[in-house]
Amino acid sequence: MTSRPRRTVVAFHAHPDDEALLTAGTMARAAAEGHRVVAVYATNGDLGLTGGEFRDGPVPLGDLRLEEARRSARALGTARVEWLGYADSGHGDQLYPDPPGRRRFVRAPVEEAAGRLAAILEEERPDVLLTYDPNGGYGHRDHVRVHTVGARAAEIARVPRVLEATLPRDTINRALRIAMRVHPFPPEFDPASWERAYTARADVTHRISVRAYAAQKRAAMAAHASQTAADGADRTLAAFLRIPQPAYGLIFGREWFRDPARPRGLPVLGDIFEGLRP
């Protein structure tokens, strides 16, 4: 009986805390199975909505959020954490000026940003790169740019497989309806926005079971403390962390991906490495 080859997966995310919501279970599972896991963040999340204790504290929010990403990495078994050096572009109508010495991610030329990511990919030689779907999930400008930059970097570095982290619209909306009956969500949470977001179920190519790693996923969420409160108002992440077990494991027990190179109509796969050459 031959042993399974050791693989490498790089998870490319827009901001610290995105990994906790979209790929933490898959990352924890890969690490537990003996594979190398690397996290790369495009931005430091310096425009993240947060409370005054974090926004006005002694540590700049961007630095704090990168430290939270490292705490999340330790919970998930991630071997390496990198930041491409860009500032958060923010979500909304206004695009803020670049901070001193930094450029907002969406203002960076695609080739420049893809070159920075490709340099890491060429060092790591990953079997799989995790990015986002073309809509950037719910449409955040940095998430859309992660899709574009990730695709280009994968071309440059010749990554064998790119998987776009996503959610099947119908499944996530059903889960949200259940969760909202159990726990109140913050006022800014708009359930209707999820009906227009992410990916149709027919386009999902990978459905990964991560229920056994729910504790690690929850620890990754909890690591991002700055994103759980905003001057007394609850945040979505805080609402998720209040969901008790076993409901938490049921709601967050799967993660979904789309392989743009895989034809539609084939069976949905349960392993991000399935079908790759040794």
**Do the bridges between strand 161-166 and strand 8-13 make them parallel or antiparallel, or are there none, so unpaired?**
unpaired
The two tokens of residue 212 are 């056994």
Q: What is the pLDDT of residue 233?
A: 65
Q: What is the pLDDT of residue 249?
A: 94
86 pLDDT above the threshold of 70: yes
pLDDT tens-digit readout, 163-222: 999 999 887 777 777 777 876 776 767 777 777 789 989 999 999 999 999 999 999 999
Please state, in angstroms and rounded to a whole number, the distance separating the CA atoms of residues 162 and 272.
Answer: 10
Q: How would residue 2 be classed by pLDDT, with cut points 50, 70 and 90?
A: very low
Mean pLDDT, residues 102-115 taken together? 98
Mean pLDDT, residues 266-277 taken together? 96
Query: In this structure, what is the dihedral angle of CA atoms 273, 275, 276, 278, given to the nearest 10 degrees?
Result: 100
pLDDT tens-digit readout, 45-64: 999 888 877 787 788 999 99
CATH architecture of 8-258: 3-Layer(aba) Sandwich (3.40)
The distance from CA 176 to its chain's CA centroid, rounded to whole angstroms, is 18
- What are the residues whose beta carbons fall under 8 Å from the beta carbon of 225, sequence distance 6 or more? 54, 68
Q: How many residues does the chain have?
A: 278
Q: What is the pLDDT of residue 232?
A: 65
Domain range annotation of the chain = 8-258
Q: Of all helices (H) and strands (E), which one includes residue 168?
A: none
